[in-house]
Amino acid sequence: MPPSNPLQWISTFLDAIAAEQDAARNTRLAYGRDLKDFADWCSGHGHDLATLDRETVESYLVYCDAQGLSQATRARRLSSVRQLFRFAFDEGWRSDNPALRIGGPGKAQRLPQTLDQAEVGRLLDAARAHGRTAADRLRNTALMELLYATGLRVTELVSLPQAAVRGDPRMILVRGKGGKERMVPLSSQARTAIADWLAHLDAEAEALRKAGKPVPKHLFPGPGADGHLTRQNCFALLKAMAVRAGVSPAKVTPHVLRHAFATHLLAGGADLRVIQTLLGHADVATTEIYTHVLDDHLKDLVLTRHPLAKPRKPQA
């Protein structure tokens, strides 16, 4: 017997993917937002999730298009609806999946925006000077150095525990999407910045213990329920540092620095499979998008390194 309330459909589905697929919190939130929008639209048009047909789903997609949603967003919405109805079919709530055979709008492949090495250098300099207090500047420096040195996703960065970087490690263990773990090396500059920040945190922790207050466990503590800096605060910090560095704030996000990390490694001669491992990509095809920025570099490589490209000595 299917739930009578659309929100029960969604919450049961989200609980299932959390338990069975170990879906990350952000993945569940994205599914939840998409499916809530779909359920609200269905309710507003008198449609029941248990009985609606393929034409109803197609009408919803037309509505999304009319709202001006991007091709990628519409493709994601359809995927979310399709997953919900697949779950409903498996649970016996429906005898079919009305979204199964609908052709999606596709997903336009966008080349990742990135930063050149000079811009990253200015951002790193700005981090050292940005902040009202010495503690703010230490934190900002550690955050920026770590972000560029590792290519971490923003959620991986802000939720990193202090224990992961204790003892001046050359490599740190990162828990990524789906709970998958990977080892990521640290640069000497990042290790120095982290050590300076940990020294401050340790002094602060001692004062908190004496006052009988809880001691933060994350590398970048925050006042919220999660106990660490939020993704939104991290975005805002980077934008502010971009302004100080004279780099367009529109260009600077945690994900753009992740792209810069990968792009600069590839330009320096790193193997694509190594970059795949460092980024935590499940498929190397995801990593291959970074090769677009290296057209000139690759052309020069072929023209200067290929044996047939070298001028031949005239025969005697």
Residue 298 sits at φ, ψ, to 5 deg, of: -70, -40
Q: Active-site residue 47, yes or no? A: no
Q: Active-site residue 258, yes or no? A: yes
List the catalytic residue out of 94, 153, 259, 264. 153
Q: Active-site residue 177, yes or no? A: yes
Distance CA 41, CA 163 (A): 46
Distance CA 284, CA 299 (A): 22
List the catalytic residue out of 76, 218, 258, 264. 258
**β-bridge mates for residue 228, sequence order:** 221
Q: Active-site residue 255, yes or no? A: yes
List the catalytic residue out of 54, 166, 177, 200. 177
Confirm if 159 and 218 have CB atoms less than 8 A apart: yes
State how far the alpha carbon of 132 is from the alpha carbons of 193, 204, 210, 243, 249, in Å.
Answer: 18, 17, 26, 15, 20
List the catalytic residue out of 31, 60, 148, 290. 290
Q: Among 155, 149, 162, 128, which residue's Cα sits nearest to residue 191?
A: 149
Residue 170 sits at φ, ψ, to 5 deg, of: -80, -25
List the catalytic residue out of 74, 228, 264, 281. 281
- Which positions are annotated as active-site residues? 153, 177, 255, 258, 281, 290
